[in-house]
Amino acid sequence: MTDSQNKTNLLSMDRDELGGYFESLGEKPFRANQLFKWIYQSFETDFEQMNNLSKVLRTRLAEVACVHFPRLEQVQIAKDGTRKWLMRLHDGNGIEVVLIPEEDRATLCISSQVGCSLNCTFCATARQGFNRNLDAGEIVGQVWQAWHQLEKERKECQNANGKAVQTYQQPGKDPRPITNIVLMGMGEPLLNYNQVTKAIRILLDDLAFGLSRRRITLSTAGVVPGMQRLSKELPVSLAVSLHATDDTLRNTLVPLNKKYPIDVLLQACRDYVDGRARERITFEYLMLDGINDSDAQALELAKLLKNVPAKVNLIPFNPVENVPYKRSGPRRVNAFREILMQNGIITVTRKTRGDDIDAACGQLVGRVDDRTKRSARLKTQSGVGVNINVV
């Protein structure tokens, strides 16, 4: 990608691509290793400070290249410590990025698109419409910005107290400010396959963030061709937004189901983990009062997942303006969970995090210049089942 000054954004390249770029400048490919260390380990973006590069190369890079990432515009911190950053893109659109801190991990939820084209009827992002895909640099840039901000805070605490301080983790735990990445923010990652997988390769790179595949989770509404391709090329952990046990209901909740119904989706899930011992698909199931939370539906879900290496995350519904669903009560959620557990399905109830700053699941909206004009149409329509063609 090039920025507004027609400079190549080096954040958009994985290491192999960057090596080729240096060759095009008449340099050796190993310069990519040096640049990766500067950008991702030292958070240095000023070529002039990269003192193991020649003066001639530094000058040339300043002329033709840049390290450009989304600009931090706003941060909100919830009572439970969850953070939500609004990041501004070069075209004026905004995306939201959420950090969920726990004692033994810190999970960053990042976006893959500006808005979303899938029109799931429970989701705030869907109501914002869709503008465009993010490029790899904009995806990686979310992690870079969040990681950099947390490292700055750690160093400030260390300087103030004379010792290292972790702001969200207990002593002796993983010292990295971010331990897990989930592509579970705005957008459907598998509808931006090439840029998402390039970004993941950068996140995995030992000279960048050095995360393992098990530490990166891609969440999909069920784009089956993308799942099939990902299983062969870059099998990171997979989460599937299921939310229903029959096609009629799922067609309404997740309109993509009309293209890839439940039986096709579940076969793709079985294929995804085939031959990989101990791998499980995480199925996300939003608990909607009186819609998908009955005992009969729990039994049907257990039946559907009987032959799939699965773990189920039950997600309490988080309020979204003008969306006519309600959260299932705690007793109903617990009863649903017990039925799944009794039928041999590993099941957890996801703790709601960051809902007081609209950072919880399904609440991310950003600031989207809606090319689909869906957001304008929805202002004049009510109820569920408003259908947009899935692309």
pLDDT of 386 reads: 29
Instruction: Give the chain's radius of gyration (CA, Å).
Output: 22
Give me the torsion for CA of 126, 137, 69, 362, rounded to 10°. Answer: 20
What whole-number distance in Å separates Cα of residue 330 and Cα of residue 98? Answer: 25
CATH number at residue 117: 3.20.20.70
Of residues 186 and 13, more confidence is placed in 13
- Given 66, 88, 111, the domain boundary residue is 66
* Residue 5 tokens, joined: 């000054």
> Does residue 389 fall inside a structural domain?
no
Pair (80, 25) in one structural domain: no
> Does residue 282 fall inside a structural domain?
yes
pLDDT of 350 reads: 85
Pairing of β 106-110 and β 94-101: antiparallel
> Does residue 380 fall inside a structural domain?
no
The residue type of 191 is: L
> Does residue 387 fall inside a structural domain?
no
Pair (255, 367) in one structural domain: yes
Pair (52, 168) in one structural domain: no
The model's pLDDT over 93-106, given as tens digits with 9 standing for 90+, comes to 989 899 998 888 89
Pair (99, 140) in one structural domain: yes
pLDDT of 389 reads: 28
Model confidence band, residue 1 (pLDDT cutoffs 50, 70, 90): low
* Residue 6 tokens, joined: 């027609």
pLDDT of 123 reads: 84
Classify residue 247 as exposed, middle or buried by CB count within 10 Å of its CB (0-12, 13-18, 19+). middle
How many Cα atoms are found within 13 Å in the side-chain-facing hemisphere of 287?
A: 25
> Does residue 80 fall inside a structural domain?
yes
The model's pLDDT over 314-345, given as tens digits with 9 standing for 90+, comes to 999 987 777 889 999 999 999 999 999 999 99
Model confidence band, residue 388 (pLDDT cutoffs 50, 70, 90): very low
pLDDT of 257 reads: 98
Pair (119, 205) in one structural domain: yes
Model confidence band, residue 356 (pLDDT cutoffs 50, 70, 90): low
How much is the pTM?
0.86
Pair (218, 311) in one structural domain: yes
Residue 289: count other Cβ atoms within 10 Å of its Cβ. 14
Average pLDDT of the segment spanning 24-53: 97
What whole-number distance in Å separates Cα of residue 206 and Cα of residue 215? Answer: 14
The model's pLDDT over 155-186, given as tens digits with 9 standing for 90+, comes to 777 666 665 544 544 444 667 899 999 999 88
The model's pLDDT over 192-250, given as tens digits with 9 standing for 90+, comes to 999 999 999 999 999 999 999 999 999 999 999 999 999 999 999 999 999 999 999 99
* Residue 118 tokens, joined: 């899938």
Catalytic entry in 109, 116, 123, 361 = 361
Pair (85, 157) in one structural domain: yes
Contact assessment for residue 189 and residue 219, using Cβ atoms and an 8 Å cutoff: yes
The model's pLDDT over 302-313, given as tens digits with 9 standing for 90+, comes to 999 999 999 999
Its domain, for residue 53, covers 8-66
pLDDT of 161 reads: 62
Catalytic entry in 96, 138, 188, 284 = 96
Residue 96 is a catalytic residue: yes
The residue type of 316 is: P
Contact assessment for residue 269 and residue 304, using Cβ atoms and an 8 Å cutoff: no
363, pLDDT greater than 50:
no
pLDDT of 319 reads: 78
The model's pLDDT over 257-315, given as tens digits with 9 standing for 90+, comes to 999 999 999 999 999 999 888 899 999 999 999 999 999 999 999 999 999 999 999 99
Pair (183, 311) in one structural domain: yes
pLDDT of 301 reads: 98
Domain total for the chain?
2
Pair (117, 258) in one structural domain: yes
CA 6 to each of CA 2, 64, 347, 368: distance values in angstroms, whole numbers, following the listed order: 5, 8, 50, 24
* Residue 355 tokens, joined: 């809902």
What whole-number distance in Å separates Cα of residue 365 and Cα of residue 368? Answer: 8
The three-class DSSP label of residue 45 is coil
pLDDT of 3 reads: 54
Q: Where do the H-state alpha helices sit in 238-309?
A: 247-253, 262-273, 295-304
Pair (193, 158) in one structural domain: yes
> Does residue 139 fall inside a structural domain?
yes
Cα angle 9, 10, 15 (rounded to 5 degrees) comes to: 150
- Given 66, 89, 109, the domain boundary residue is 66
Contact assessment for residue 365 and residue 101, using Cβ atoms and an 8 Å cutoff: no
Residue 336 CB contacts under 8 Å (≥ 6 apart), including other chains:
287, 293, 295, 297, 298, 314, 328
CA 382 to each of CA 121, 200, 377: distance values in angstroms, whole numbers, following the listed order: 11, 38, 10
Helix 193-204 and helix 136-161, axial crossing angle in degrees, nearest 10: 30
Contact assessment for residue 71 and residue 45, using Cβ atoms and an 8 Å cutoff: no
Residue 199 CB contacts under 8 Å (≥ 6 apart), including other chains:
136, 139, 140
What whole-number distance in Å separates Cα of residue 282 and Cα of residue 357? Answer: 26
Pair (193, 316) in one structural domain: yes
Percent of the chain with pLDDT over 90: 68
pLDDT of 154 reads: 79
By mean pLDDT, which of 84-98, 170-184, 351-365 is the weakest? 351-365
Pair (259, 205) in one structural domain: yes
What whole-number distance in Å separates Cα of residue 314 and Cα of residue 11? Answer: 36
CATH number at residue 39: 1.10.150.530
Given its phi and psi angles, is residue 210 left (phi above 0), alpha (psi -120 to 50 degrees) or beta?
A: left
> Does residue 135 fall inside a structural domain?
yes
pLDDT of 383 reads: 39
The model's pLDDT over 93-139, given as tens digits with 9 standing for 90+, comes to 989 899 998 888 899 999 999 988 898 988 877 777 888 999 999 99
> Does residue 150 fall inside a structural domain?
yes
As beta bridge partners, residue 106 has: 101
* Residue 3 tokens, joined: 């920025």
